[in-house]
Amino acid sequence: MAVFPGVKAALLTYAAHVLAVLAAGAVLVWSIYFRGGLAFEASNKSLIFNIHPVLMLIGFIIIGSEAIMSYKTLPWSHEVNKTIHLVLHAIALVLGAVGVYAAFKFHNESGIDNLYSLHSWIGIGTISLYGIQWIFGFVTFFFPGLSPALRRKSLPWHVLFGVFVYVLAIATAELGFLEKLTFLESSGLYKYSPEAFLVNFTALVVIFLGASVVLSAIAPANVDAPHGYTAVSEN
Ligand code: HEM
Ligand code: HEM
């Protein structure tokens, strides 16, 4: 799937790491400095909400990004990298589920309806598909593991579906930032305030992060290597 010849995946993964650090820093500054901090139990219910963007961005999207890039970034054997890939995806899934739970908890304790927005519908779809992708990946490539021929056949589908779900997660986060900022602005936040800029800036960084992760997955590990999924490992 070498649609990106001439650029080594490593270059894109460096960019992704820098963007991930920037995005993580920005969402923490937003939720702690501008929005008052994070708490699972609080009389100020907004602090419960704040856990949501932090876990969805750092826990779900950034750890999921590192999981996707693990085959290109890590120096170990295919077998070790595969274990790290599956463990990081599992951690992303669990933290993402806790993040979604925080949004529900905030709604329930504040008397706000659940699942009324496009963001929440696509969000539930994303986290469910992520779980399905994980189970299929696990059964196909890890335990019990399909025959080498079937693994070879399913790998392009695994990559395609994995990239699709990842892009869906990026899109969900974009909708989330937009929605939250719109709520804040309609309850008085100045549209050109530093906070409004920070939220839009974070959302922009997340788009660039998503783009570099997707391109790193479809770029060849080595520019000189034959392009495409020719040498699919047997394990
Ligand atoms: C891939 C990442 C994300 C997923 C899967 C996701 C999922 C969800 C879900 C399922 C809900 C519904 C909760 C309920 O109905 O009680 C929700 C609510 C919400 N999320 Fe996210 N979210 C993500 C990222 C974000 C981000 C980065 C923000 C930025 C602030 C955000 C802002 C919101 C807001 C404002 C709500 C409450 C309003 C609503 O239900 O639409 N989300 N999210
Ligand atoms: C939601 C979870 C998952 C997502 C989103 C996902 C996504 C991806 C993506 C995008 C790639 C392509 C990476 C690249 O070529 O640079 C990939 C490769 C791969 N994944 Fe997953 N994956 C998930 C879970 C799993 C699980 C649980 C396993 C089980 C071991 C697994 C095994 C593999 C294998 C063997 C490859 C091929 C690596 C190679 O090119 O040799 N994945 N995955």
- Does the reported pTM lie above 0.85? yes
Q: How far is the CA of 53 from the centre of ligand 2 (A)?
A: 25
The tokens describing 220, both together, are 């060849």
Length of the chain: 235
pLDDT tens per residue, the chain (235 residues)? Answer: 444 555 789 999 999 999 999 999 999 999 999 999 999 999 999 999 999 999 999 999 999 999 999 999 999 999 999 999 999 999 999 999 999 999 999 999 999 999 999 999 999 999 999 999 999 999 999 999 999 999 999 999 999 999 999 999 999 999 999 999 999 999 999 999 999 999 999 999 999 999 999 999 998 876 554 444 434 444 4
Domain parsing of the chain, residue ranges: 9-218
Collapse the DSSP code of 129 into the 3-class scheme (helix H, G, I; strand E, B; otherwise coil) and give the result.
helix
* Ligand 2 neighbourhood includes 163 CB (under 6 angstroms): yes
Burial of 209 (0-12, 13-18, 19+ CB in 10 A): buried
Q: What does the angle CA 175 – CA 218 – CA 5 come to, to the nearest 5 degrees?
A: 125
Q: Ligand 2: which atom is nearest the Cα of residue 229? A: 40
Fold of 9-218: Four Helix Bundle (Hemerythrin (Met), subunit A) (1.20.120)
d(CA 220, CA 216) in angstroms, rounded, equals 8
Q: How far is the CA of 60 from the centre of ligand 2 (A)?
A: 16
* Ligand 1 neighbourhood includes 158 CB (under 6 angstroms): no
